[in-house]
Each structure stands twice: as structure tokens, then as C-alpha cells.
Amino acid sequence: MITAGIDMGLEYVKAVILKDGKVIGRGRGHSGGAARAANAEAAYDGALKSAGIAAGDIQKVVSTGIGKHDVTFAGACRTESVTAVKAARFLCPDATTVVDAGADETLISTIKDDGNPGEVAINQKCAAGIGLFLNYMADRLELSLEEMSAAAPAPAECRVSDGCVPFAELDALSLLNHDAAPAEIAGAVTLSAAARAASTINDITVPNLRSVVLCGGLAKNKAFVKALETLTDIAFHIPEDAEYAGAIGAALIAAS
């Protein structure tokens, strides 16, 4: 059986093709505004191309993510917590909890023995937008995303607010104004983002700190992951397809 999953996030749309329990194609693009439906199709086409199959071979398409309703060609849509849990179990069979940290949302869900979501927590509205924030701070600090990912923990005197993005951005600009090094500010904003994600994670009781899967775009940011691990004592499993987890979960649901 061949199915497809589309994850329309705040910033990027991800598509995967799943054939008999194996990911055979991936596609990715900018989500956008007016052209969201077209961008979803472009990501889907990319995934089809990388899988080397035609759209006619796909039996079912399921969408997820904040813009799941914009994927006009999807047969069904599923909420993010469900797809994250399905993907976590698929990518890491003994996972008991999944954390999805993306451009806008941080989500944590325990996974019941039957593979369904248990306890779910999503960031408070004030703590939204951490992935997007790190992206545009990189742009402002003239650092590549790789350099952001390699940012060392900032010294104690270089800190920004971990309350919300507007405060953190102002604090970062003040640090810049006081001649702090861009790399140190990168460490400071990463720590503030991790602190906000950690507060969401702390909303629930994690059953096993050694079997937590981290997915979403921020899983690729090593500095963020390290700061989050220090704050929560969790040792994360980060699958290779972390960024595509939502789409994989959707494709798995399409297949079941």
C-alpha cells in the first residue's frame, strides 16, 4: 500500500510517501500565504518525484499541521498530536513520549501502550513562535542555521527574557547594542527558546526520561536540543526524519 502524508506547518510544508511501512519519498517547501494549496502540491510533487512514482499510485493522502485544511487534495486531516505520536512509535518503536518542537508550536504527548496519545500539552499562547524566532534571529545576527545550531552556551551575563518572543527580541537587540558577540547572543536566544519549550514539557509527567522522541524542525538545532536536555534531564532520541515526523504520521494514518 502506498500512501502520502502532508504536514503544513507555519513556515514549511513537508510531504512524504510511504510504501509498506517504508518512507520512499520526501518533499519540502515554504508554506506561504495565498499559494498554500499550490505549495502543498509542489511539496507533494517533490515527494512523488523523489519516490519515482505517479500521483495515481497513491491510495490515500492525509494532511496535518496548522494549515492542514489548506491541503485541498488530502482525503482527510488529522490533528498534530495524533500524527506526532504515530510517527514517534514508527521511528522509534519503544518511545513512550514525543516532543514536537516547530516554528510556532511546542507539543508534548505521552504514548499509550496501544500507540494512541495519552496526556497531551501544547505551549501556552505566550510561548508560541520559538522556531520562527530562532530563524529570524539567525538572519539578524548574520549567522547561518548551522552556526546557530553550533552556538555555545552563552555566559551568565549574556541572557535574554525567556518569557516571550517580543521581550526576547528586544533583549537580544539591547545586547547587540552593548557590543555582545553575535555568537553569544545566539547562545542566549537559544537558551530562552529552550526554556520556553521546557516549560511546556514540564506541564506533564514524562513517564520515562530515556525514551522520549524529539521531532520537528528544532530537533535539527543541536544547541537547542542540548539546552533543552540540560533543562529537562531528558535524553532525546532524534530520528533522522525528525523534520518529516508529522508528515510520516499522517501517511501512517492514511495506511491504517
Residue type, 250: A
Shortest gap between Cβ of 190 and another protein (angstroms)?
16
Shortest gap between Cβ of 56 and another protein (angstroms)?
27
Tell me the three cell numbers of residue 143: 549567522
CA distance 123 to 132: 14
The position carrying cell 521511528 is 91
Tell me the CA distances in angstroms from 42 to 50, 56, 159, 163, one per residue in order. 12, 16, 40, 37
Question: Which position among 7, 41, 70, 243 is part of the footprint of another protein (CB under 8 A)?
Answer: 70
Question: Which position among 69, 202, 203, 230 is part of the footprint of another protein (CB under 8 A)?
Answer: 69
**Number of other residues whose CB lies within 10 A of the CB of residue 234:** 21
Q: Which is nearer to another protein, 97 or 200 (CB)?
A: 200
Residues 184-203 that bind another protein (CB under 8 A): none
Return the exposure string of 96-129: e unless at least 16 CB atoms fall within 10 Å of the residue's CB, then b.
bbbbbbbbbbbbbbbbeeeeebbebbbbeeebbb
- Our finding on whether 169 is near another protein (CB under 8 A) is yes
Q: Do residues 12 and 30 touch, judged by C-beta distance below 8 A?
A: yes
Shortest gap between Cβ of 75 and another protein (angstroms)?
15
- Our finding on whether 207 is near another protein (CB under 8 A) is no
- Our finding on whether 173 is near another protein (CB under 8 A) is yes
Give the end-to-end CA distance of the chain in Å, rounded to a whole number. 10
- Our finding on whether 117 is near another protein (CB under 8 A) is no
Shortest gap between Cβ of 181 and another protein (angstroms)?
9
Size of the site for another protein (CB under 8 A): 37
Shortest gap between Cβ of 168 and another protein (angstroms)?
10
Q: Which is nearer to another protein, 72 or 116 (CB)?
A: 72
- Our finding on whether 144 is near another protein (CB under 8 A) is no
Beta strands in the chain (DSSP E): 2-8, 12-19, 22-30, 60-64, 76-77, 97-101, 106-111, 117-122, 212-215, 236-237
Binding mask 19-58 for another protein (x = CB under 8 A): ----------xxxxxxxx----------------------
Question: Which position among 52, 155, 166, 207 is part of the footprint of another protein (CB under 8 A)?
Answer: 166
- All residues at 6 or more sequence positions from 168 whose CB lies less than 8 Å from its CB, including other chains: 133, 160, 161, 162, 189, 192, 193
- Our finding on whether 6 is near another protein (CB under 8 A) is no
Write out the residues near another protein by the rule CB under 8 A: 10-11, 29-36, 66-70, 104, 125-126, 128-129, 132, 135-136, 140-143, 164-167, 169-170, 173, 176-177, 182
